[in-house]
Structure 1
Amino acid sequence: MGEKKITKPKKFGEEKMTEENKKKPNPIDIHVGSRVRLRRNMLGMSQEKLGENLGITFQQIQKYEKGTNRVGASRLQAIASILGVPVAFFFEDAPGQESSANRGFAEDASMAFAVEFCGSPEGLQLNRAFVKIADVKVRRRIIDLVKSLAADDLD
């Protein structure tokens, strides 16, 4: 009988290294970087300002945000602290996560669209302007207006 080759199971995010994918950023690193960029933009913070707070260059922030450089655990903790979010924020909806069927009461996939919109230039502009409205009644009326316009759009 021939020998059976025993292979160990792949770990999460582990891929066989080839010349082609050595230079390609890992999907998790890209996702974490995009979430750093999303939160930084939501706060209206520049790459320079974030880098300054971390003691690194804005170019390094660019590399983190593109996923070309991996963010270490201690650096990610510092970024989370500066941006005012838990570290888990950077991993929400990451590739390879369990399916939504196994997520219990977690938010559904439609929330991913809302998060993506909030990070867009329009979403950021809308949120920044909305937050500046001090009168709660006016904010409620704006929400009602937007809902009615969205409902009309569906017709």
Structure 2
Amino acid sequence: MKYCRTALLFALCVAASGCNVPQTTMANGAVTYGNDLVSLHIKDAPDAVINASGDLQVGDKVVSVDAAQRGLLMLYYQNVHDVNHTGREMGKIGAKMGGRALKDKMQGKSEAEQDKDAQAGSDQIKTLAQKMCQDEANIKAVQDQLGAQLADFKPYAGIFDQHEVKSCADDDKD
């Protein structure tokens, strides 16, 4: 396989987009993570914000939650945080792969050696992609519980749907 070109292209894309992106967006822009806050954005409802302590604010209203709901909000936050962290790790690995590919090429390594180096990085990215899909499945599970238990969260309970979770898992098999 010719992983060298793919690794180099991936690394250039990562470098062009920047590794220290201050905000991560997922679920087609409906969820953002930045400044240690998870923000939920849907049509026809005010934005909702969740912090690491499990506090929920919908628009200008701070929502009163019980201990179980707070725990679920903390899990939701943590899983979104984990997706963000995993994405950053994937970017770092991609950048290293690109640097390694360039170095291998400059040192005149054989195609087989270049492919071996690229495969190692590709395997790491695949493992992280699997973790990211699991984190998204976890977000969906917690989101469903929050939608059932917390009326103020109900409008946001469809952000991650089963199709999206299945799509991630199916993409991961390729």
* TM-score, normalised relative to structure 1: 0.29
Q: Higher relative contact order at CA 8 Å, sep ≥6: structure 1 or structure 2?
A: 2
Higher strand share: 2
